[in-house]
Chain A
Amino acid sequence: MSFDFALAWENLPALLAGAVTTLSLTFPVMALAALISLPMVLARLSKNRLLSGFVVLYVALFRGAPSLILLYLIYNGMAQMDAVRDGPFWFLFSSAYFCAVVGFTLNHSSYVIEILAGGLRAVPAGLVEAAQALSLTPRQVFLRVKLPLAIRYGLKAYQNEVLIFMKSTSAVSAITLVDLMAVANEVFYFTYDPFTPLLSAAAIYWAMTNILRLGFEMIDRRLNHYLHIAGLSDRAGASAAAAEIPVRQNGLTRMFARLRV
C-alpha cells in the first residue's frame, strides 16, 4: 500500500485528458437536460392528460433504470436494430460519445424535470394570484414569477443531482469511452499498482466535484441573497441558542441542547 509520486506525475497528463473527457460529457448533458426539461415540465403540469402522462412515464422509465443499462441499451441495443443501422443517423449512434450523451441526458433530465416540477408546485399560490391581480399575462406570471422562484427552490436539489450525475459518468468506460476512470484503470493494468492511479483519479474527481459545488454555492448566494443576510445565518442562531442553555446537565442533554432544533 503505497503511493508512487513519480508514477502519478508521469501519468498526470493522461489523467487530466481523461478528466477533460469527463467534463466534456458533463456540461453538454447538463445543457441538453436543462433545454429539454423546461418544455417537459410544462407538459407535466399541463391539463392535457396525454402530455402529462407521457412525461410521467418518461420520468419513471429513465429515473428508475441505472444509467449503465441506458448506456448499454443505446450503444449496444440500438446498433442491433436494422432500422437504426441503415438509417440516416447511424453515424451518430455508432459513436460512443454520442450514445453516452443521449443516455445520460435521458437519465439526468428526468431528475431535473422532477426537481423543477417540485419547485413550481412550491411557489405560494398567493404570489401567483397577486401577479394575476396585477394583470400580468400568463406568460409573464410564468417567466417572471413562477420560474425564477422555482429555480431558487430547486437549486440545492439540482446541485446534488448534478454532482451525483457527474460522478456517475465514471461508468462510460463500459461503452469504450476513455474518461478519467478509464485512464486510471488503464494505468493500473500497465503497472499493476492500484493505489497510485486510482487515488490520483480520486483526487481529480474530488477537485472537480468541489469546484462545481463552489460554483453552485456562488449562484446560490446570488439568487438567494435575501436568505444570507447577517443575523439570519444559522451559525448566529446556533450560538444564540447555545447561550441560553443551563450549565449543569448530563452529557447527552448538553450535546442536544447545543444543537439547533
Chain B
Amino acid sequence: MLELISFGEKGYGWLLVQGAWITLQLSFVGFAAALVLGVLIAMATLERRGLRWMAWRVYASVFMGVPSLLVIFLLFFGGAEIVRGLLAPFGIKAKLDMTPFTAGAIGLAIVYSAYMAELVRGAIQNVPKGQLESAAALCIPRTHIWTKVILPQAARLALPGLVNLWIILLKDTALVSLVGLNDIIAQAKIAAGSTKQPFVFYTAAAVFFILFGAVTVRYSRYLRERLERGQRTAQT
C-alpha cells in the first residue's frame, strides 16, 4: 500500500507532491490577492452610506450568496469574453487564454475579498480612535496614517479571522480541480484511476490538507507574537 505513495518508480509520490505544490501556489496567490482587494475595499467602505457603500453591499451580497465553484466556472468559461468585452470600448483587442489556474486564482480572490473586506473593516473600526486622532494631531500624512498607524494595528485584530479564512480558502482550492487544474486532488484522481486504489490516494490528499491546515494554524502563533509586540497583556 505504502509503495503506491512512495517516490520510487512504482510510486505516485512525486505526482502528489507536484499537485500539492500547485495547490499551495494557488492558495497563496488567491489569498494574497483577496487580502489586497479586501483591504482596499475595507478602506473604501468605512462610511456606512453613499454610493460606495451601496456598491459594496451589492458586491458582498452577490459573492457571498453564490458558490465559489460557480464563480470559478464562470471565469473559466467566460472570463476571456468578459475581459474582451471590458476592453473593447477602449479600442484594445486583447486575446487571452483563461487557464484553470488564473480562473481559480481570480475566482477565489473575488469571492474571498468580500469576506476579507468584512473582516478588515471590522478590525479597522476596532483600532482605538485615539490612535487616529493623535496621528491626525501630529499632522502625519494620510498615507502614513494608514500604513504605519492604522493597518498594522488592524492586522493584529484581524489575524484570528485571517487564519480562519486561510484554512477555508485552502480547502476551497480543491474545487479548482473541477475546471481541470492539476492540483493534488486531480493528481490523486489520476493515480486512483490507474492503480484502482482510490482509498489510498484520496486519503493521502485529505491528509495533506489536514496537516497543512494544522501546521499553518500552529505557525500563525509566531505571526501573532510579532504583531502583538509592545502590547500590554493583563497579568493574571
Contacts and interface: CB of A to CB of B under 8 A. Distances in A.
Classify the secondary structure of B's interface with A. helix
A188 B189 contact: no
Interface in B195-219: 196-199, 202-203, 205-206, 209-210, 213-214
Given A66-B171, A194-B78, A1 B209 contact: no
Interface residues of B, number: 53
Interface in B22-80: 46-48, 61-62, 64-70, 73-74, 77-78
A168 interface: yes
Contact of B77 (A78, A170, A198, A257): A198
Contacts of A256: 46, 125, 129, 132
A13 B61 CA distance: 25
Chain A interface extent, by class = 35 or more
A25 interface: no
Given A198-B70, A205-B65, A259-B125, A252 B209 contact: no
Contacts of A163: 64
B171 A252 contact: no
Contact of A65 (B70, B78, B175, B209): B209
Contacts of A61: 206, 210
Contact of B214 (A60, A81, A164): A60
Nearest to B209: A65
Interface in A165-179: 167-171, 173-174
B22 to A, nearest CB: 15
A80 B78 contact: no
B121 to A, nearest CB: 9
Contact of A64 (B172, B175, B210): B210
Given A1-B81, A256-B46, A257-B129, A80 B202 contact: no
B46 to A, nearest CB: 5
A202 B70 contact: yes
A66 B168 CA distance: 9
Contacts of B198: 72-73, 76-77, 79-80
B199 A77 contact: yes
A171 B171 contact: no
Contacts of B126: 261
Interface in B142-200: 142, 145, 167-168, 171-172, 174-175, 177-178, 185, 188-189, 192, 196-199
A79 B193 CA distance: 13
A250 interface: yes
A80 B175 contact: no
B223 interface: no
B89 to A, nearest CB: 12
B136 A250 contact: yes
Contacts of A184: 70, 73
A209 interface: yes
A211 to B, nearest CB: 10
A173 B72 CA distance: 15
B65 A210 contact: yes
Contacts of A233: none
A249 B135 CA distance: 13
Interface string A184-227: 11001000001100110110011001100000000000000000
A195 B75 CA distance: 10
Nearest to A164: B168
Interface of B: 46-48, 61-62, 64-70, 73-74, 77-78, 81-82, 84-85, 125-126, 128-129, 132-133, 136, 142, 145, 167-168, 171-172, 174-175, 177-178, 185, 188-189, 192, 196-199, 202-203, 205-206, 209-210, 213-214
Given A72-B189, A167-B66, A195-B74, 18 more contacts: A1-B82, A64-B206, A66-B174, A69-B185, A70-B206, A72-B198, A76-B192, A77-B203, A169-B67, A194-B73, A194-B78, A198-B74, A202-B70, A209-B65, A249-B136, A250-B136, A258-B48, A261-B126
11 contacts: A65-B171, A66-B171, A72-B185, A80-B198, A167-B68, A184-B70, A194-B73, A201-B70, A252-B136, A255-B47, A258-B48
